[in-house]
Each structure stands twice: as C-alpha cells, then as structure tokens.
Structure 1
C-alpha cells in the first residue's frame, strides 16, 4: 500500500516528496563538490598537523569511523564530517559513499517525520 499522504501533506506550502528529493540533491551536490575540492587541494600532501582541533577530530574519527561521522552529519555538519574523515586519511570514495547514504537516510527520515506532523521549529518566539 503506497503512502499517498506523502504527496498531499505540505511543508510550508510545498509537497513533501519534491522537497525531500530537492533536499537530497542539493545536499549531495554541495557535499560531493566539497569532497572533490578538498581532495584536489590536498593532492598528494597528506602530512599530519598536530594541535587541539586535530586531536579532537582524530579522536572523534577513531571512535565512530567514516559511517559514524557521516551519519552524524545533521549534528556536526555534513561538510565538517567529510573534512574530518578525509583529514583522518579515509579514501575519497569511501567518504563519498557514506555521505550519500547518510544524506539520503536523514532526508527520508525527516520527510516522513514532517509528513507525520513533527515540528522541529527551533526559532519559535515565546
């Protein structure tokens, strides 16, 4: 049974399915472009920097790996997660794969949540 309510519900006046698809495509374009640029800028230069931020990023990466960093995208930012994974030495292809999976899963989950009436309005005025 197909969930037709996903086409009839609206998010700020827009149908949910097209908004979800546009969210996936827009995020993928920006994150994959970012990964490509970082990979080209880094080139063969894979020297390690030592510092507070570097150590924190390394610890986060060691603890969760590429899948964890990618799936934490909405919390830490997809671009930051990709940068952490690439800086830690993960391959561009592996980071790209997990970013695609994470962006798609989060967009689908949030689209369904909005369709079911979830309200994540963090800019409410009291």
Structure 2
C-alpha cells in the first residue's frame, strides 16, 4: 500500500493530473478516501509552492532588469478575463478545475498576484477541490456499489 500512496503523491504533483483527476480515480479504485485526499493534496501543494516561488523570483528579476514594462500575452485571454472580473480569489478557485492548479498558479503570479496571497489562496483552493471531489467520488461510488466483497479494481489489481 505504501507504493500506492507514493504513486498517488507523484501523480498529484504532476501538472494536469493533480488532485482533480487523481483523487476521484484512486477513491473509485478502492483506495481509502482520507489518505488519498491528504497525500494527493500534499503532492500537489509541494510542486505548487516550488512553482510559485520560482515564477515570482523570475518575475521580480525581469522587473528589475527591464523596469516596469510588462507586455500583454493574448494566449491567456480566458484566464486574464477571469482575473479582471474576479481577481486572484476567483482565479485561484475557478482555475484549478478548468486548467489545472499549476497553470492557475503560474497565471496568478504572472498577472500580478503576490507570492503569499497566491500561495494561501491556491492552498485553500486545492484543499477545497480535493475534499469536494474526494467526497463526491467516495459517496457517489459507495452509493452505487454497496457490496462488502467489492474492494475496488485498484485494490484487487494490487493484491494479485
């Protein structure tokens, strides 16, 4: 089981897998919900902290080198619209579900969010999505399959 949790940690740390995908898959696969939510949250948070610190450092370095001239990037128009409409809290809570937490954190810092506010809001957002999706997967799957002999496909696969 230790290897399973280690793999969950690693997959949650990888952009675009993250908690939004890993938590429901692991819980539906039969792995206990609470450890999955906690381990996936920590895996996702670790890489987010590293990303936020790195991007903020690069942004500060660029500001010192070029002055305050920031050019606009049209590739991130949807995220910029969310930023303009809802600010950092809106982007932090809406973004992870649609584009992933890593890209959301990158965009939040590059649009002008401070390191500490971005980290705090992204941590709350990841916790919210991990708990919400984990609870939905656990309750939904448990409701559909009420069989004590069914241990989930991942657990059966690992026990073979």
CA distance in 2, matches of 1:52, 1:41: 20
Q: CA RMSD in A?
A: 2.0
Deviation at 1:58, TM superposition (A): 2.9
CA distance in 2, matches of 1:51, 1:13: 43
CA distance in 2, matches of 1:57, 1:111: 26
Q: Give the conservation status (yes or no) of the 8 Å contact 2:55–2:110.
A: no
TM-score normalised per structure 1: 0.77
Could you list the runs of 5+ residues in structure 1 that have no partner in the other structure? 1-9, 120-126
Total equivalences in the alignment:
110
Partner of 1:16: 33
Whose helix fraction is larger, Structure 1's or Structure 2's?
2
CA distance in 1, matches of 2:119, 2:93: 12
| Partner of residue 53 from structure 2, selected from 14, 33, 36 | 36
* The structure with more radius of gyration: 2
Partner of 2:101: 78
Could you list the runs of 5+ residues in structure 2 that have no partner in the other structure? 1-26, 64-68, 143-160
Deviation at 1:43, TM superposition (A): 2.5
